[in-house]
Structure 1
């Protein structure tokens, strides 16, 4: 897993800022991004646990860190207490 986006991606919008009270259940369950779609998860406050289902590895992501998520990568997040985060979306042209 890298924190670099490939060159040439087109911005595709952003999520609202989520908190520990508003983080959607769908993000806490295993899911993937669609083909040709990328995301960058920004932790603005607190921390969360990012699980890469493909490798079986988990990583604690704490503010102000971020994680880049590639298309098709099975993953999920888990709360670790207080949280503010947002997701920026990108797509391949």
Structure 2
């Protein structure tokens, strides 16, 4: 669980999951900007709108004010469609 103050710097800059690992970003309170870098896109995540991280996809996140979030990781061959 992270908030706007405890979100690690490593998640705020480009990073990626390993091959075969995908994840769901869950925002519990507030808003979080989720950027994928290849292909480029930007989405604002909220409690009603989680984010999907595809395996090996470069991405970064940015808190938009006060927020609380966590990431749920999965290791499977076929992640859900974005």
Structure 2 gap segments, 5+ residues each: 78-82
The residue number in structure 1 matching 2:6 is 22
Structure 1 gap segments, 5+ residues each: 1-16
Among 14, 18, 24, the alignment partner of 1:34 is 18
Flag the structure with larger Rg: 1
RMSD over aligned CA atoms reads 1.1
Separation of aligned partners in 1, 2:20 and 2:40? 23
- Write the deviation string for residues 14-58 of structure 1: whole angstroms up to 9, x where unpaired: xxx100110011110101100011110000000010001012211
The residue number in structure 1 matching 2:58 is 74
Q: Match of 1:27, SS?
A: helix
Q: What is the TM-score when the length of structure 1 is the normalising length? A: 0.78
The residue number in structure 1 matching 2:42 is 58
Q: Match of 1:26, SS?
A: helix
User: Which runs of structure 1 show a deviation greater than 3 angstroms over 4 or more consecutive aligned residues?
Assistant: none
Q: For this pair of structures, how many residues does the alignment match?
A: 77
The residue number in structure 2 matching 1:49 is 33
Q: Match of 2:31, SS?
A: strand
Deviation of 1:64 (Å): 3.0
